[in-house]
Structure 1
């Protein structure tokens, strides 16, 4: 073969070698452009044997969690179980509980209406809630509302606000909700314990509470059932806060402070308990708010001014009224800035 015919062959070989080198250098770029190829390069083949190893709890060197002294797999089956439980059960439960309560309250208001006083007001007032209790109550109530709204935003907001306002506004909303929830949650928990301890003496169950529930708080039958300082419904709300409420607070502390050695499983269960308890309490709280405001004439006055009219006391808490009726003072005396003497606080604090 002469030299003139050999040059084209060498050129072809050189060109083929250059193409091979170019393809080799392009592999990382192609892997980044294709997520599936990138995953295949980073993780390797995830075979059925790999998934069996993950579900069995075995820990292989290629799936070890990077945290110190961890025995978890990076691919952890319990995390998927938590996600399914949260998305398929907890989230729908929240919508049914909160949304259903709103519908029930609206229907009740339209059909039954407000519970008015049975007789005209007497103009004589009884001290029901001293200033300290009212201050703690309104602080706890305000924190509860903020935590409920921020929690609902964290759970459902992305389906409502993100399509409406876009990623930028949604990102700011979710960030604010997370900060508010994390920082106000512990304060709410502390003040809730203080409030529960302060009003515990009014909320011990009594025999007449059973009759109150049988009559549906006065909705069934004639007349209003007997009630002491706190009726059966108020006592039920108290014990829900003292049980489910404290469970929500405790699980919230676990989630808020993950640097005390909680395991991944502990955090997942704390999240489920926190969500279920908080959603249930939010639903019941809507009923509590309705009854204490527009649902019952005169109820809101007790927690705003501290005083209630004699007629309201007789209608809703007749046993307590019989104990403290001699403590009633004219409304003109309150308007003149002369509240009840110190004995009034003691009267309001009597169990009944």
Structure 2
């Protein structure tokens, strides 16, 4: 009774009740306003209308507002691209790259390194000049950076985001995107130069079939015939010359979207780029293994430019027969290298 007779208190209670009523009614009013706006903007929206929008059987009033766009509000091709990318390209990459790593580890445990069949002779043959070696290592370095940044863009959020959080993962994604976009064109140009430089060594020959039949000599004691490039090296070359150039071309399409490419073209370029790059990354792991710890003496050719006679006879016997008279004692090469080093040091001294 007393509270009811208190005029100021009763006014305060009424104000609170009105405020609560307004707060509770706001969502409903907003929903009603949204529905009225939609009904005014697109009159008569129904399931049939949306089916027409999806299929493209509507007039320009149902198109999106992108400049010169001919796409519908519901882009069916985008959904198809998403399904292909998530259900095929991404799983393929995990299977290809992960399967190759597992296969290499298993092969190394069971078979081990392929050692030379005889002791080294100490006589060296020039295999790769400085220009080719520099070009090879530049392309190889760019390939590794692009592979790692591409893998991070595709799978990084499933690993690094949960491990390090959004801030670190966001910085990694940003760095990967910049590296991929800016180094990709440089890789493409240098890859074409490298392929053109070594093309003469990679034309298929009949004895390459026998090389594959014997597993390249990695299994067993036999060493199949091979010229300057064996069957495996030629296969890697032609993979780069076909799938590699397809990855480069599709990468240019994605890197420069302001040259009139349609949305469908960009979507297909993305699928080709991702699938091809993942496949090449898997094969590259095998190439790296054989060229380093998998075969004794192989890395020397691409680091020093020279290989031992025994290595040449084991792996490239046909080429060895052509150039064996050009073999140089290792001591002479060491002396020449030391002389060049002294000359460079003298030339660099002031005055």
TM-score (norm 2): 0.84
Counterparts of 1:184-223 in structure 2, within 5 Å, are 184-219=183-218, 223=222
Q: Distance in 2 between matches of 1:130 and 1:51?
A: 65
Query: How far off its partner does 1:73 sit?
Result: 1.3
Q: Which residue of 1 aligns with 2:277?
A: 278
Name the count of aligned residue pairs: 319
Query: How far off its partner does 1:47 sit?
Result: 4.0
SS at match of 1:336: helix
Question: Is the Cα–Cα contact under 8 Å of residues 123 and 331 in structure 1 kept in the other structure?
Answer: yes
Q: Distance in 1 between matches of 2:29 and 2:137?
A: 59
Q: Which residue of 1 aligns with 2:81?
A: 82
Question: Is the Cα–Cα contact under 8 Å of residues 125 and 309 in structure 1 kept in the other structure?
Answer: yes
Question: Is the Cα–Cα contact under 8 Å of residues 101 and 287 in structure 1 kept in the other structure?
Answer: yes
Please state if 1:168 is matched with 2:167: yes
Q: Distance in 2 between matches of 1:243 and 1:327?
A: 35
Q: Distance in 2 between matches of 1:173 and 1:83?
A: 23
Q: Distance in 2 between matches of 1:193 and 1:310?
A: 31
Please state if 1:306 is matched with 2:295: no
Counterparts of 1:249-268 in structure 2, within 5 Å, are 249-268=248-267
Query: How far off its partner does 1:52 sit?
Result: 1.9
Question: Is the Cα–Cα contact under 8 Å of residues 54 and 77 in structure 1 kept in the other structure?
Answer: no
Q: Which residue of 1 aligns with 2:226?
A: 227
Counterparts in 2 of 1:43 and 1:23: CA distance versus 1, 3 Å? farther
Structure 1 unaligned blocks of 5 or more: 1-14, 340-352
Query: How far off its partner does 1:68 sit?
Result: 2.0
Root-mean-square deviation (Å): 2.8
SS at match of 2:125: strand
Q: Which residue of 2 aligns with 1:295?
A: 294
Q: Distance in 1 between matches of 2:100 and 2:44?
A: 50
Q: Distance in 2 between matches of 1:37 and 1:142?
A: 57
Query: How far off its partner does 1:61 sit?
Result: 4.2
Q: Which residue of 1 aligns with 2:26?
A: 26
Query: How far off its partner does 1:70 sit?
Result: 1.3
Q: Distance in 2 between matches of 1:28 and 1:314?
A: 85
SS at match of 1:278: helix
Question: Is the Cα–Cα contact under 8 Å of residues 54 and 72 in structure 2 kept in the other structure?
Answer: no
TM-score (norm 1): 0.84
Q: Distance in 1 between matches of 2:263 and 2:198?
A: 37
Question: Is the Cα–Cα contact under 8 Å of residues 62 and 73 in structure 2 kept in the other structure?
Answer: yes
Question: Is the Cα–Cα contact under 8 Å of residues 158 and 170 in structure 1 kept in the other structure?
Answer: yes
Q: Which residue of 1 aligns with 2:11?
A: none
Query: How far off its partner does 1:51 sit?
Result: 3.6
Structure 2 unaligned blocks of 5 or more: 1-14, 339-351
Counterparts of 1:312-327 in structure 2, within 5 Å, are 312-327=311-326
Q: Which residue of 1 aligns with 2:342?
A: none
Query: How far off its partner does 1:151 sit?
Result: 0.2
SS at match of 2:128: coil
Counterparts in 2 of 1:204 and 1:28: CA distance versus 1, 3 Å? farther
Query: How far off its partner does 1:220 sit?
Result: 5.6
Please state if 1:58 is matched with 2:57: yes
Query: How far off its partner does 1:55 sit?
Result: 3.4
Query: How far off its partner does 1:38 sit?
Result: 12
What's the CA shift string for 1:265-292, capped at 9, x where partnerless?
0000000000000000000000000000
